[in-house]
Structure 1
Amino acid sequence: MTERPLSSAADPLVRGGRSAALGTAFVRGGVAAGLGLGAVAVLVMAAWIGSPYPDSGPGGALHTAAGLWLLAHGADLVRGDTLSGAPAPLGVSPLLLMVLPGWLAHRAARDTLESDEDGPKPSIGGAVAAVTAGYLLVAAGVVVYAASGPLSPDPLTTALWPPAVVVASAALGVWTAVGRPLPEREHAAAALRAAVPALLALLGGGAVLIGVSLGWHASATRESFTNLAGDWPGRVSLLLLAVTLLPNAAVWGAAYGLGPGFALGTGAVATPLEFTGTAAVPPFPLLAALPPEGPGSWPQWAAAVVPLAAALAPGWSVGRAARLWKAREAALTVLVAAGLCGAAMAVLAAVAGGPLGSGRLAEFGPVWWRTGAAAVLWSVVVGVPTALGVRLWARRGLTPRPRPAAPAGASAPPGSVPPGSVPAPGRGTVPEPLPGEAAGRRKSEMEDDDDSGFEPYDYLPAAWEPAPPPPPSTPPLPSTPPQPPPPAAPPMPETPPESQAQPPPPPPPERPAPFA
């Protein structure tokens, strides 16, 4: 006997149906949440073990890990055991720490649709919903556990930010699994492609500003680092915290270059034009690289290079794609790209800032709506003229398409132009395409008043060359009356054998000569 191989795909009881696939996605979401929580717990326990003077036991360290895991999802934490007795909120989420749970939820949703197992797979919406449900079930247990610790989660932000982060990450994972498709509309896809480099340019420019400022204030940064941590375990923990906050600093730098700046406590705002108010800055290495108080000077004004360069990116991208578009379509595409970039910057500014305590520390970081509005304004003011200019430059190699020559004697229709010429802007009619041209030419190119009838120079003659002559036609043969058959020739006499080898003379064309 031969043994039958065990195959879960061949067994209908094990294989299941779509409900089994949804259950697998649910489990994947829960496992993703558990992996992220375990990674944060390992880091916190390692810092607790290495600390020479721990404030609490292992239970307090685990409660702290649960609170930090929720903080990594955007939820605010509230510390109750303060010196004043008033609860102190903590709402600055480390953006680098948020990458871990987002990537885990993204991978769980992607693997749900990319699995090699035979059988039905869940739909796109079902995969996102199942992964999110499994993830949030674990998150609900963590919220209950962290509520009894020193850092309890805030109910409002906990109900808002963690579900939004998980749903967005799972949706990106499903989008990756189906091949990252772009919108079918050409203009929407171009706007999406233009918003991404603009956002990356803003964040990269903000990171450059922070790096330059840290190098400028290197001594103050070093002094702040050594004063906060005297032993090596403390220095390592402080260094890890500073590294996780580097993306936050990049968002702050981008908001500073855009113009709105960021708040450093209630009533204190740092902008390129002026540093107003008195900053309530806690001792931290990244905060040692702040601009000086008072009116700004040329080093602060130079930060405007960041949004200027970022606003050129969508204009350049849309201008290259709008070679055959109308000018209005190119401008509207830049507006959509500016809106997408502004919305992304507003979300990042909302997560990168928040309260660091009560009182004067209740406002810390960039204001989200001002940052988003400034990003939209820069992208529109600089991006639209850039897109139109790049579009005109890309069209410089196009040449007008001549009209076909009208047949002789035909009357020209009203409003038409002579063959080989181009109607003036706003006048005349649009010429019809030539017989050999491509049939799928865009309708917007045919209806454009400014640049109607353009074709590459290599395929058609220029405007000053004569139009090609029509193909020659074969004239019909004239009709002739039927000719009578020629008269029959008389019989030939017999010839001697010597003359039989030679052919007889041909008969005359009209009348044969009498036989002699």
Structure 2
Amino acid sequence: MTHYLTGRPFARPVGAPATAPALAGATAALIGLACTGVPVLACWLVSAPPGDGVGDAARLAGSLWLLAHGGPLVRSAGGAPLTVTPLALTALCVLLLARAGARTAVPGAPGRAGAPCGALCAGYLAVALPVALGCRGAGALRSQPLPDLLAVALLGWTGAALGARTGPRWWPPARRRLVARLGRWHRPLPPGVLLPATGAGLLALLAGGALLVGAAGVLRGDVTEAAARELAGGSPPGELELLFCCLLLLPNAVLWSVGYALGPGFRLGTGTLVAPGQVHLGAVPDFPLLALVPDRGSAWQFLVVAGPLLAAGTVAVLLGHAAAGPADDQPWSATATGLTAAAVAALLAAVVALLGWLSGGAVGTGRMTELGPTGLCGPAAGGWFLLLVLPVSLALRRHLLRGRPPTPAEQPTQQPAEADGGSDG
């Protein structure tokens, strides 16, 4: 297990073949199940309800593992849906799949990595199938085998492809056709800049969201503590279970805070909205993370826009310095800088929209079918970055290039007539 988490390579005998992809996929699935099941079984041991056996705890762990892949569940009480993905477990599953995909990729042959990824995904599904069937008819959270297995297959292929740095077979020719159609709009983009700049902007947004969650925990600590005490009933086992649930959903809370800082906010039920300056709430479920939500709007809440401002400023500074380049290197053109800033804004908008959608879902019927960031969070992120990164990066590029001697490629060439005239004189 430590090999998957630390990234150290397996020790293989000289001349031995690489680990079988299907076995690597099954191993990744079993490790993910174990990481989910150990805390669940620990909570069951210290606070097992009367009549619940170890099989119920195992089914609960399996259901949570399926939910981490984006598969929908059904609660036994009334058949209410549960589709809010615990993103902490999702990140663990993606990490395990990526490590397995990296180990089973064919060295020096990236184009032949599709078959190992498919075999790895098949091994992963071989573990998920009995889990989905076993959690179908009993337990507090019940699986829906077909959509759950489809979600497992999608995440399994995505994680394995990320590790092997490959993609489906249709992507390379589709990418070539797309580049050919974009033509001159694609050529000015400098290579190797788009993804790092987008990643820097996303990390800055997530850091701001995490700081916002921490600040809310400090300001509303008494309300959160009261909600936790009421749910746990004052028992240490109950508090342990609540802590486990909060840790699983902490990345979701960070992404909801990102949506809040961007402006559109998030919903805690149909017809509700939590955004800077406006809070419209109904009955909110008793849960410590939901107790962090403000009760009413205030003008002070608009200070949270400092997060997107700093994130966009970070990307603008990075792009401005990259556009100017070292003193002995060819700088980017203004067109390339502007197009790169626009491309970063568009890609970041898509990523924020996807993550916001993954972090939300339903926790019941009626008004509890709509929780999470609103659909405008992605476009809001793109707008913030486009309006700030584009002018700031261009201005910084111009400032850094001021007073710098032109590079040999930028120096004007001497006309032949002028050269002849100079020799005659």
| Same topology, TM > 0.5 | yes
| CA distance in structure 2 between the aligned counterparts of 1:219 and 1:173, rounded to whole angstroms | 43
CA contact 1:280–1:361 (8 Å) conserved in 2:
no
Q: How does 1:223-234 map to 2 (within 5 A)?
A: 223-229=226-232, 230-234=234-238
| CA distance in structure 1 between the aligned counterparts of 2:151 and 2:362, rounded to whole angstroms | 16
| CA distance in structure 2 between the aligned counterparts of 1:31 and 1:268, rounded to whole angstroms | 43
Aligned to 1:395: 401
Q: CA deviation at 1:364?
A: 1.1
CA contact 2:110–2:165 (8 Å) conserved in 1:
no
Higher-Rg structure is 1
Q: CA deviation at 1:160?
A: 4.5
Q: CA deviation at 1:127?
A: 2.5
CA distance change for structure 1 residues 306 and 58 in 2, over 3 Å: closer, same or farther? Answer: same
CA deviations over 1:235-265 (Å, ceiling 9, x no partner): 1111121122111111010000111111011
Aligned to 1:296: 298
Aligned to 1:74: 70
Q: Report the secondary structure of 2:165's partner residue.
A: helix
What amino acid sits opposite 1:129 in the alignment?
G
| CA distance in structure 2 between the aligned counterparts of 1:409 and 1:283, rounded to whole angstroms | 84
Higher relative contact order, chain-length normalized (CA < 8 Å, sep 6+):
2
Does 2:153 match 1:163?
Answer: yes
Q: CA deviation at 1:71?
A: 0.9
CA deviations over 1:74-107 (Å, ceiling 9, x no partner): 212111x32xx3x111111211122221121111
Aligned to 2:24: 28
| CA distance in structure 2 between the aligned counterparts of 1:157 and 1:263, rounded to whole angstroms | 25
Aligned to 2:348: 341
What amino acid sits opposite 1:164 in the alignment?
L
Aligned to 1:456: none
Q: CA deviation at 1:43?
A: 1.9
| CA distance in structure 1 between the aligned counterparts of 2:389 and 2:61, rounded to whole angstroms | 45
CA contact 1:191–1:318 (8 Å) conserved in 2:
no
Aligned to 2:197: 194
Q: How does 1:64-463 map to 2 (within 5 A)?
A: 64-79=60-75, 81-82=76-77, 85=78, 87-113=79-105, 123-150=112-139, 151-154=141-144, 157-175=147-165, 187-229=190-232, 230-276=234-280, 278-293=281-296, 295-298=297-300, 300-323=301-324, 324-367=331-374, 369-399=375-405, 401=411, 404=414
Q: CA deviation at 1:113?
A: 3.6
CA contact 1:41–1:62 (8 Å) conserved in 2:
yes
Aligned to 1:496: none
> Could you state the TM-score of these two structures normalised by the residue count of structure 2?
0.82
Q: Report the secondary structure of 1:31's partner residue.
A: helix
CA distance change for structure 1 residues 154 and 388 in 2, over 3 Å: closer, same or farther? Answer: farther
CA distance change for structure 1 residues 159 and 383 in 2, over 3 Å: closer, same or farther? Answer: farther
| CA distance in structure 2 between the aligned counterparts of 1:407 and 1:370, rounded to whole angstroms | 61
Q: Report the secondary structure of 2:242's partner residue.
A: helix
* Aligned residue pairs, count: 383
Structure 1 outlier segments of 4+, above 3 Å: 7-10, 119-122, 154-157, 183-186, 399-411
CA contact 1:113–1:122 (8 Å) conserved in 2:
no
CA distance change for structure 1 residues 140 and 392 in 2, over 3 Å: closer, same or farther? Answer: same
Q: Which runs of 5+ in 2 are unaligned?
A: 1-11, 167-178, 180-185, 325-330
Identity %: 37
Q: CA deviation at 1:54?
A: 4.6
What amino acid sits opposite 2:314 in the alignment?
A
Q: Give the CA RMSD over aligned residues.
A: 3.0
CA contact 2:132–2:145 (8 Å) conserved in 1:
no
CA distance change for structure 1 residues 46 and 394 in 2, over 3 Å: closer, same or farther? Answer: same
Q: Which runs of 5+ in 1 are unaligned?
A: 1-6, 177-182, 412-468, 473-516
Q: CA deviation at 1:42?
A: 2.1
CA contact 1:71–1:93 (8 Å) conserved in 2:
yes
The structure that is helix-richer by fraction is 2
| CA distance in structure 2 between the aligned counterparts of 1:335 and 1:165, rounded to whole angstroms | 29
CA contact 2:349–2:378 (8 Å) conserved in 1:
yes
Q: How does 1:9-20 map to 2 (within 5 A)?
A: none
Q: Report the secondary structure of 1:245's partner residue.
A: helix
